[in-house]
Structure 1
Amino acid sequence: MRVYIKKFMIGLLLGCSSGWGFAQQQSTMDTKLKENYQLVWCDEFNAPQPALPDSTSWRFETGGHGWGNNELQYYVAGIHGKDTLALVSDGTLKIKALKKQQGKNPYVSIRMNTRKSWLYGYFEARAKVTGKRGSWAAFWMLPEKFKNWPLDGEIDIMEYVGYRPDVTQASVHTQKYNHVAHTEKTATREIQNAETEFHTYGVEWTPEKITGYVDGEPYFTFENDQQGNKETWPFNVPFYLKLNLAIGGNWGASQGIDETLCPALYEIDYVRVYQAK
């Protein structure tokens, strides 16, 4: 107990709002970012014993309506029957997808949303993604007052589809630039052992531009056209962070679904938010 209390206090000193905060792994953010930003929120997923994610930091989104992408999973509130699909243990969050029927949906999985939202900053997660055709892991952002997609905007910090091993993708979606219209602004980066090793996925979001990173290296940039037009730059309001593991969907299942996919595991070591000093 004394060890846990010590970790808890260190976490608070670092600015972690989660009750289980304790920054063990060093961020890979580059030197310039480190000079300009300070940690304001984090979840290090260091529960003293196996547990669901901290409910003061996260909420579950539930349902099985396809989520705009014809996805096959039903998102549950952490637990499905006797199966815990969002488990904090041994220093990581483990999001699991199973092939189990829920209503009309043949799979169950997890979609989580932060209770806090932020306007601008550097956002980072250290994660190990699931593979095999049909899986679709993501770390991304939607606005706090989201009503209409794509008008309100979307920031995809990391998307990983299992049929494309060791390739990560960062994107933004707006009314003018989105994947439905085939005008989305996006970039990919090859990485090694994404499914067996942890990598860091981040984005710097400022009034001028959005820059995507993997392992501290920038590979995607979307600049504000400074026209004051929401259709091209809706990124001037607070956004939430999201973690989810989808099965199937227009993109995830574009090359089919591996029948041995489940159980699928998406493991997150930490989520951190930095803002300007």
Structure 2
Amino acid sequence: MRPRLVVTTAPDTVTPTEAAVVHGWGTRVTGDEFNYTGAPDATKWIVYNSAGHAGNGVRSPEQVTVDGSKMVMTGTPDGTTAGMGAKFANQKYGRWEVRAAGSGDNEYHMVSIMWPDSENWPCDGEVDYAETTGDWNLITFFHHYGCSNSQTSASRALDVTQFHNYAVDWSPNGIVGYVDGVKWFEDNNSAHQPPGSMHQTLQLDWFPDSTANGAGEMRVDWVRVYAAAGTA
């Protein structure tokens, strides 16, 4: 049996390197501070119970919990891991920011994603605005677009085992990514725009290789959503 949700009253944390602070995004409109214990809030999240990414391993609700200050996903050496999608801010355009860290076996990739509400992938796009790809000292932004699953991307060296703030600003002008308030990705090609509304997902995906398998972990302090530029 999953533990019941218990809400605490700890104050929300604010760091000066948030894109929302640096760029003055205003008051957040929704999100999850993970200031409770137990399973992820069922009014805010759909926790996956399915095959893993590309059929590798499985996603189990038992592998994700909230400890009173953060959400923790754990992946086992056999590929039993977790993922979940937000029920909030299913919309076209807006600003999303997460504070996250990860660690463990390089076969585990932590990913913060904007996923199409239509589930029509790849045609309706995918915005992976913080993804590890087998190296916990490198972070990558992947913007997938079109039915051919074309991509634009950017990577930078970063100690992902430490908490950092990852953000995406999606507007009619394009898609901009930030790490700790600093812009590091931009795609303003109108032909690359996602055609419809999207929502936040958090995933610890398993990419088995020829090396020995190990455990992995993804930790998320909070998820925050802000109004799109010009609409606040």
The 1:245/1:32 distance shift into structure 2, 3 A limit, reads closer
Measure the CA separation in 2 of the matches of 1:257 and 1:122: 38
Contact 2:23–2:181 (CA under 8 A) maintained in structure 1: no
Separation of aligned partners in 2, 1:46 and 1:112: 17
Equivalent pair of 2:114/2:200 in contact (CA under 8 Å): yes
- Tell me the secondary structure at the aligned position of residue 29 of structure 2: strand
Provide structure 1 residue ranges, at least 5 long, that are not aligned to the other structure.
8-21, 80-84, 100-105, 226-231
Calculate the TM-score normalised by the size of structure 1.
Answer: 0.73
Matched with 1:51 is 38
Q: Which residue of 2 aligns with 1:118?
A: 91
CA contact (8 A) 1:37 1:122 kept: no
Contact 2:73 2:219 in 1 (8 A): yes
CA distance in 1, matches of 2:31, 2:219: 16
Conserved in 2, the CA contact under 8 Å of 1:177 and 1:185? no
| 1:166 match | 137
1:247 aligns with 2:206: yes
Q: Give the structure, 1 or 2, with the largest relative contact order (CA under 8 Å, sep 6 or more).
A: 2
Matched, 1:186 2:164: no
1:145 aligns with 118
Tell me what 1:223 maps to: 188
Deviation track 1:226-251 (CA, whole Å, cap 9, x = no partner) reads xxxxxx334242101000111116xx
**Larger CA Rg, structure 1 vs 2:** 1
Whole-Å separation in 1 of the counterparts to 2:43 and 2:211:
35
- Deviation of residue 142 (structure 1)? 1.1
| Structure 1 residues 246-265: aligned runs within 5 Å | 246-248=205-207, 253=209, 256-259=210-213, 261-262=214-215, 264-265=216-217
Q: Which residue of 1 aligns with 2:172?
A: 207
**Alignment check: 8 A CA contact 2:45 2:85 kept:** yes
**CA-based RMSD:** 2.2
Q: 1:55 to 1:248 in 2, by over 3 A?
A: same
Alignment partners' CA distance in 2, 1:146 and 1:244: 16
1:61 and 2:51 aligned: no
Secondary structure at the counterpart of residue 227 of structure 2: strand
Q: Which residue, out of 16, 31, 36, partners 1:42?
A: 31
Q: In the alignment, residue 194 of structure 2 is paired with which amino acid? A: F
Matched residue, 1:92 = 70
Flag the 1:234–1:113 CA change in 2: closer, same or farther, 3 A.
Answer: same
1:265 Cα deviation from its structure 2 partner: 1.2
Aligned in 2, Cα 1:32/1:267: closer, same or farther, shift over 3 Å? Answer: closer
* SS of residue paired to 1:56: coil
Out of 192, 215, 220, the residue aligned to residue 268 of structure 1 is 220
Residue identity matched to 2:99: R
CA–CA distance in structure 2, aligned partners of residues 24 and 30 of structure 1: 13
The equivalent position to 2:196 in structure 1, one of 237, 241, 253, is: 237
Q: Cα distance, 1:121 vs. partner? A: 1.4
> Aligned partners of 2:8, 2:112: CA distance in 1, in Å?
29
1:73-130 deviation digits (Å, cap 9, x = unpaired)? 2011x22xxxxx111114010101113xxxxxx4211110001212211111101112
Q: Secondary structure at the match of 1:184?
A: strand
CA distance in 2, matches of 1:166, 1:38: 32
User: For the residues of structure 1 that align with 2:171 and 2:189, how far apart are their CA atoms?
Assistant: 9
Q: How does the TM-score come out when normalised to structure 2?
A: 0.86
- State how many pairs are aligned: 221
Q: Does 1:74 align with 2:58?
A: yes
Stretch deviating more after TM superposition (130-139 or 108-117): 130-139
CA distance in 2, matches of 1:143, 1:234: 12
